Structure 1
């Protein structure tokens, strides 16, 4: 993290509790992406982007990809461009995540980048995730207000979840390099002060109980035989044929819960679930597959393997090593392979060396599925 930032105090006093303004903690802040580059991404297929235009106190939402000339036709009304998962496409934006890795990687969602004209914003709202809002370029006024929940009233709007009543309790103007942390549920609103306002939103996801229950149950059911049926060989004559008796409910409940109570099976499923790609249709595979032999040959060239910023890596400790999860795939690793797996999860890049021979097949598989990328280390 940043040298002057007290991680323990932040986690104790602010994480999921209270907002926090962090005035420029970077050694030397430099905006990692130009506005024109962001606009270019918003014009590409497969990149999730939106434009919010504010007119006469109301907001209109458009979804990308956008035509190249769309930004020149927006007129004088305040507007905001938002592009999701920019870290997948811009390594310098992905590097913004590094100071926040005191929160486990599996909690990280992506880096959304916004560009706003003077007065642009998306209105007062609240989110269900933790976010660090890093001011990249220009200035933005942030107001933070009440804590909200699912019962909080929203304005009638087809596309946006806007708050009709917003009373700010804190207000700050952020300059380049400043950071505002907003926990889940806190009402907030950001408005650009002047043109060329860019903000980097480093968002953290939290699995929802309903989603996990449904997807875990679906995963279990997919592997169950069709003849795994309820049985009552000791049934007694029914005193009342229309009653579902307590003994039957107890057996049915136990039958269901037993299937879901295997902690090891849940952990294995969750590792694959939580590392599944955010955009599964994106194809990051190399044009030509690499072989293990070709990777070994690159060792003497000082080649490095870089994690694809769009990929998700995590591991679980096991009795005999670890299970490595990468983009939804699971790889049991023991001995030197377990050490390599932990290295892959800890660092954005690893340098190939002879000690990795035991894991060369795994590395080749990860390269060929697009999770690792080869940099040969040779000067041009």
Structure 2
């Protein structure tokens, strides 16, 4: 529904800043189900601005696919806005500011993609938002000249938060024709139905001003036209895990069940549905056993955790500064767990292990209390729980070197 809301406190600061309502309200009323339009100052210029866009275009040597352009619903060929980097940077697809100017002045929309990787304020905000949501997210900027339409009415296969940064943009939002689409169910599969729905009365028909935020679940049809001057908005795409993902993990586990690997009967008649009844019943029984086993050993959750780890990059670490810090580590230096570093801690009688996506770090069991404490709260390098000062510094240096800890 189209609703104006006031901000409220929350233990999820990035999400609260976007929605302006308590997390419980957002989770119950809107998440995955209904659009939410929140109008609240201040604007989000600490995250992005016109000058930030110009800096990325002129000084950061962006390449495709971190940038694309579109005009009247069509994607422009990359060579119409990119070129060679010249001597010392012989690549053919660096952003060419003069070409961008030509296309933009002619009415084309500029899309700066992956800003959670190229612009530090957005990177930091996105890491916090991912922590708030529990789902991966990425950020694009859409920069549209006055009265230009970048893309035809369409839906996305991921949830989005739209933040109006500069200028104004007229948005129209229509009900879905295909609810909760998966990544392999794009709007083009329903092109005619989308076009017909877009001709109906929209649910939301509003001009967005700086500071306005729209939450839009995947599948909702939308289009936008800039009003009066250059419009800049950020789109935060959220790849929410689904029950279909749970099923995919379950099917992966099914490969380990010999009963499910058995062949169907010799001479099975696929034209006679009843001939499969016994095997379908046996399959359902095996599936129930799989679900019970997965609930007991956490295999499904572990599978989803691996998907999440592959999609979310932790905060970067500065290699040179870290090596210098290790060499002269002060016992009073405050260290903390690297933001968005996913992993789990495993204990046994002899060791404590930090299991990360690409490696496992093993420490003596006496370091267990220190590792668990660091996972939840910043600690002084020379006074880790359960360790003497010398051992604390040894563990701190090891975890700095492994990229687990960072200075605060």
What is aligned with 2:330? Answer: 299
CA drift at 1:249: 6.2
Tell me the distance in 1 between the aligned counterparts of 2:40 and 2:67. Answer: 28
Question: Relative to 1, partners in 2 of residues 1:289 and 1:26: Cα closer, same or farther, differing over 3 Å?
Answer: closer
1:38 equivalent to 2:70? Answer no
Query: Where in structure 2 are the equivalents of 1:105-254 lying within 5 Å?
Result: 106-118=134-146, 119-149=148-178, 163-165=194-196, 166=198, 167=200, 168-208=202-242, 213-214=247-248, 242=267
* Deviation by residue 1:325-364 (Cα, 9 ceiling, x = unmatched): 7556567994331221234xxxxxx575323438536623
Tell me the distance in 1 between the aligned counterparts of 2:158 and 2:381. Answer: 40
What is aligned with 2:342? Answer: 313
1:19 equivalent to 2:35? Answer yes
What is aligned with 2:396? Answer: 360
Contact 1:140 1:197 in 2 (8 A): yes
Gaps of 5+ in 1: 233-239, 344-349
Question: Relative to 1, partners in 2 of residues 1:109 and 1:362: Cα closer, same or farther, differing over 3 Å?
Answer: farther
Question: Relative to 1, partners in 2 of residues 1:211 and 1:17: Cα closer, same or farther, differing over 3 Å?
Answer: closer
Gaps of 5+ in 2: 1-5, 10-19, 83-92, 269-274, 385-391
What is aligned with 1:346? Answer: none
Question: Relative to 1, partners in 2 of residues 1:253 and 1:162: Cα closer, same or farther, differing over 3 Å?
Answer: closer
TM score, norm. by length of structure 1 = 0.68
CA drift at 1:274: 1.0
Contact 2:43 2:211 in 1 (8 A): no
Tell me the distance in 2 between the aligned counterparts of 1:178 and 1:30. Answer: 15
Tell me the distance in 1 between the aligned counterparts of 2:213 and 2:330. Answer: 41
What is the SS of the residue equivalent to 1:15?
Answer: coil
Query: Where in structure 2 are the equivalents of 1:256-335 lying within 5 Å?
Result: 258=289, 261-263=293-295, 264-277=298-311, 295=326, 297-300=328-331, 302=333, 307=338, 312-313=341-342, 334-335=368-369
Tell me the distance in 1 between the aligned counterparts of 2:192 and 2:102. Answer: 26
Contact 1:130 1:203 in 2 (8 A): yes
CA drift at 1:220: 8.0
Contact 1:19 1:182 in 2 (8 A): yes
Tell me the distance in 2 between the aligned counterparts of 1:163 and 1:305. Answer: 48
What is the SS of the residue equivalent to 2:70?
Answer: strand
Tell me the distance in 1 between the aligned counterparts of 2:45 and 2:195. Answer: 36
* Deviation by residue 1:204-254 (Cα, 9 ceiling, x = unmatched): 212355566556655886xx6xxx85699xxxxxxx963588766666666
Contact 1:137 1:199 in 2 (8 A): yes
What is the SS of the residue equivalent to 2:300?
Answer: helix
Tell me the distance in 1 between the aligned counterparts of 2:77 and 2:359. Answer: 35
Contact 1:20 1:180 in 2 (8 A): yes
CA drift at 1:257: 6.5
Tell me the distance in 1 between the aligned counterparts of 2:171 and 2:326. Answer: 49
Tell me the distance in 1 between the aligned counterparts of 2:176 and 2:114. Answer: 27
What is the SS of the residue equivalent to 1:44?
Answer: coil
71, 74, 87: which is aligned to 2:103?
74
Q: Relative contact order, CA 8 A, sep 6+: which one is greater?
A: 1
